[in-house]
Structure 1
């Protein structure tokens, strides 16, 4: 009797196990293809490029006192003498907006110093500019996934462009590096030789933020709220071959000597600028055979027309 009960119990257990296995197998294969048919992989839906999206967006970042937070990015009016207008106006005339969107960064663009203590500090101004630039790139990339970009800036705007390009090139920016056709920095305060490409005459110095970094506490007495951040760690990464650093030899903003000498004098030069810093539109000694303005226009048009 006991032996019969043991056999019956074993049979019941095996039946329960078999039923559970059948239910598990049936659930795991529900909706699968007929045996013998190859499995069809899911195809991710490709993001479409809306008709209104441009093929290229040229983003311009003006220098100190050449923009405002309320300016119109398509038709900037903050400063009619802004250096970047010498580049963006010809590009707007050369292309229709559905082909090339020209967008000018609207940011405060100020530089608090001992002569203008009421202005926004350099740190706050460039942080605002960088945030707005990344906001535009992020919005456009999400909305227009097929659009590519050229980003260019002068002086404070060049620092902003360089910082954003460095993040993108190192893989932690708001858009992928392969979406950037070029990053162009004119008179970048964080410029260093060998980081990026110099299309012009050689310069032996470095950007003022690098030269003055060891003396930042002294610099703060002239330009409070202007951090001298030194080099960009990691450089431009994947954008190294298309990050262009343009600097007039002798321009103390981007070609400061390593031995700064009189640091206070250098700090005052950052505020007041110098003759070379204001002559990029016409100076024939920056890039042989042309001017900085014309080089940027020609390079951009060639890049756009051959894409």
Structure 2
């Protein structure tokens, strides 16, 4: 859900659904404000324009006077056309999406506060008129604040706002404001704002490309995707969101990693001299270093425990960002990161104590700094491009892999469920062939039975393929837990979780392998006319395959509805029953067709940073005049300012 893909260029795939908390779809109570009569020392501008950047386009320490990201060209053009008339601000906020230790909702909540405070600082300027813009996560933020203004006249009256321009707003709902450009079929992944924009409705212009699932998701077609989006875009502390957001959130951000060598250099320089050092600066650099090293340690530990993450990194092509990240993790595995984290914390605490007036022994910081430098030398010596690429990949690796687990289970689980009836039928028929006394009697009857057994084992080999893909690419325990967190009213998520639980108890890959070997053995007998040998192998290995397979499918009894509401730890509905219900739900009107997730080409990275479709707003024409979303909003805003003069 991001916005700031324009600053991240290639190397990071979609950016699914994927990372998310800004909006709940509700408008919170107005925050307490400073005295509304306050007037800025520099006087009141004729027009004040707020531009809220998207994910990764800014940070909490950014200079708000510097234009950044996708909205930057709009600000620059307005400044050029109306010099001295517009005060322009880009509110500084974390702009993270499950990276840097921040859930999307926590980042967005900080952004809303920053925007609200900035607007409130000019609340005493009765004649100042406002323009408010936001992109992706910034659109989420700007839209919520605009809703607060339009519905509650806070922090300024609605009649002071000239217009609100939102691009890729995750709460786009087709009902509030004007959707400009081609028709949009869906709503934002976070759902619509309950109160809308009230008095500002006619002054809100929304831009959304229909292919951008951050602002255009079909909840009827993909309720699972919508459920995930609504859950993880809740504000901090919202009921039911903490478990999934915790599973998605990484303690590392790309900017932290690229800044690490500079912070390490600062620590070395400020502790090397004999004179007085800048202790506040040293404490800040050491604290930031400790936080980054802790993020690296946590990420490396998580990857070691997660085969799916290892597989994703290992699959990177030579020279790719994934390969750089994988190589960088190899470097980290040889370092005492835990000791480095403690060392950085010790330096930060000591520097803070000195800055506060303490008098520690002379040179107390020199040795800890040298030890830290020795441990982290391989990191500090890594080329900038390697750190940049590794940071891009590792910062979103956790949410990427986690969402991939869900989509893998959804897509392959549905294919598996659809195959279950045919698998059961083929296993029973294979069992009948293998227990037929004629199988061991040489002659035409034996040959026909062996050919039939070969055909059935071939069918089973193909039917089991979704099982194998599912088991090979999913951490079944993790996937089951995540599916249970999703508030999916259709029941498909819980049934998928129960299916995964059953599969985790069966050696699915081994079973499929045995079926494949049985098929090969039978084919060898057919080719060589070794009918008796083939019959012996079929009777021996085949019956084991049939027995294990039928036990995995279960009894086929219908699972009661109550089991979906509160499944007990001891209940074990059969796979056949669960598969039947899963397919029934997936094909029913308005239910979740999980296969659509894969069909629409989603991956975890794009889910979390679906503002990746930057070109849809900077290059794609939206009207007959050839305007892009960005140039259209520029002309729209300029016309409103021009009307004041």
Map of 2:107 onto structure 1: 125
Map of 1:283 onto structure 2: 620
Map of 1:194 onto structure 2: 175
**CA offset digits 1:76-133 (Å, max 9, x no partner):** 4xxx6x1111211222222223x11111111110000xxx4x3321111111110010
- Distance in 2 (CA, whole Å) between partners of 1:199 and 1:272 is 22
The alpha-carbon distance between structure 1 residues 165 and 267, as it changes in their structure 2 partners (threshold 3 A), is farther
Cα deviation, residue 67, structure 1: 0.7
Q: Which runs of 5+ in 1 are unaligned?
A: 1-45, 211-230
Cα deviation, residue 48, structure 1: 8.7
Map of 2:46 onto structure 1: 55
**CA offset digits 1:185-210 (Å, max 9, x no partner):** 10000111121111211111000112
SS in 2 for 1:279: helix
- Distance in 1 (CA, whole Å) between partners of 2:217 and 2:146 is 22
In the superposition, the TM-score normalised over structure 1's length comes to 0.70
Cα deviation, residue 272, structure 1: 3.6
SS in 2 for 1:124: helix
Find the partner of 1:171 among 152, 167, 172.
Answer: 152
SS in 1 for 2:57: coil
Find the partner of 2:87 among 91, 94, 101.
Answer: 101
Listed as ranges, the matches of 1:291-302 within 5 Å are 291-302=628-639
Map of 1:14 onto structure 2: none
SS in 2 for 1:235: coil
Contact kept, 8 Å, 1:49 with 1:145, in 2: the verdict is no
Find the partner of 1:66 among 57, 64, 74.
Answer: 57
Question: Does 2:227 match 1:236?
Answer: no
Map of 1:249 onto structure 2: 210
Cα deviation, residue 274, structure 1: 6.2
Question: Does 2:132 match 1:151?
Answer: yes
Map of 1:88 onto structure 2: 75
- Distance in 2 (CA, whole Å) between partners of 1:267 and 1:171 is 39
The alpha-carbon distance between structure 1 residues 48 and 123, as it changes in their structure 2 partners (threshold 3 A), is closer
Map of 2:28 onto structure 1: none
Contact kept, 8 Å, 1:253 with 1:277, in 2: the verdict is no
- Distance in 1 (CA, whole Å) between partners of 2:49 and 2:152 is 21
- Distance in 2 (CA, whole Å) between partners of 1:163 and 1:68 is 20
The alpha-carbon distance between structure 1 residues 173 and 278, as it changes in their structure 2 partners (threshold 3 A), is farther
SS in 2 for 1:120: coil
Question: Does 2:165 match 1:184?
Answer: yes
**CA offset digits 1:27-56 (Å, max 9, x no partner):** xxxxxxxxxxxxxxxxxxx99998732100
The alpha-carbon distance between structure 1 residues 86 and 262, as it changes in their structure 2 partners (threshold 3 A), is same
Listed as ranges, the matches of 1:216-231 within 5 Å are 231=192
- Distance in 2 (CA, whole Å) between partners of 1:261 and 1:267 is 17
SS in 2 for 1:153: strand
Contact kept, 8 Å, 2:48 with 2:86, in 1: the verdict is yes
- Distance in 2 (CA, whole Å) between partners of 1:262 and 1:234 is 24
SS in 1 for 2:190: helix
Question: Does 2:116 match 1:134?
Answer: yes
Contact kept, 8 Å, 2:39 with 2:123, in 1: the verdict is no
**CA offset digits 1:117-161 (Å, max 9, x no partner):** x3321111111110010101111122x221110000100000001
- Distance in 1 (CA, whole Å) between partners of 2:128 and 2:603 is 40
Contact kept, 8 Å, 1:181 with 1:303, in 2: the verdict is yes
- Distance in 2 (CA, whole Å) between partners of 1:243 and 1:74 is 24
- Distance in 2 (CA, whole Å) between partners of 1:170 and 1:124 is 24
Contact kept, 8 Å, 1:64 with 1:157, in 2: the verdict is yes
- Distance in 2 (CA, whole Å) between partners of 1:274 and 1:182 is 22
- Distance in 1 (CA, whole Å) between partners of 2:632 and 2:184 is 18
Contact kept, 8 Å, 1:62 with 1:153, in 2: the verdict is yes
Q: Which runs of 5+ in 2 are unaligned?
A: 1-36, 226-405, 408-601
In the superposition, the TM-score normalised over structure 2's length comes to 0.34
Cα deviation, residue 179, structure 1: 0.6
